[in-house]
Amino acid sequence: MSELVEPLIVVGVDGSNHSKEALRWAVAQAKATGGRVHAVMSWEWNTNPFAVGTGGEEELVTAETAARRKLSDTVAEAVGTSPGVPVFRRVEQGSPGQVLVEASQEAELTVVGTRGYGGIKGALLGSVSQQVVQYAASTVVVVRDGVPD
């Protein structure tokens, strides 16, 4: 017998309004399709040679812990604590675009906001969103935040 598996929707979350709107859209889509959502946030090790600090294990744990906390807070703010569908929080080390492209390999749908915190204000598509659109293994939906620039 084959087991029915809920469709997986991966959504990139960075705490920006665009990513919150993408998460809201992903949850609504999961409700409509009987799916589940993986809210994915990445974090990177600071490779700036002039950065303050030793770059030791303690800073690594702190960066990952901060990302987990930020993801948890963003999910709660965007969709509440009982969104009506399973929403799993995933924190992965790596560049945001690469982490989302890798996560898309197991998803039926990948959702991103038009842009996050980086980039040029008013740009049509952020660099992470562009990378996901170009290289994702699943269908990609790009969601605007609805707030005029």
pLDDT of residue 45: 73
% the chain with pLDDT above 70: 78
Model confidence, pTM: 0.84
Tens of pLDDT, residue by residue over 97-120, are 999 999 999 999 999 998 765 555
- C-alpha distance from residue 100 to each of 6, 87, 104, 148 (Å): 19, 16, 6, 26
The overall average pLDDT reported for the chain is 86
pLDDT of residue 123: 55
Average pLDDT over residues 39-52: 74
Within the chain, where are the H helices?
17-33, 57-79, 96-104, 127-135
Average pLDDT over residues 51-65: 64
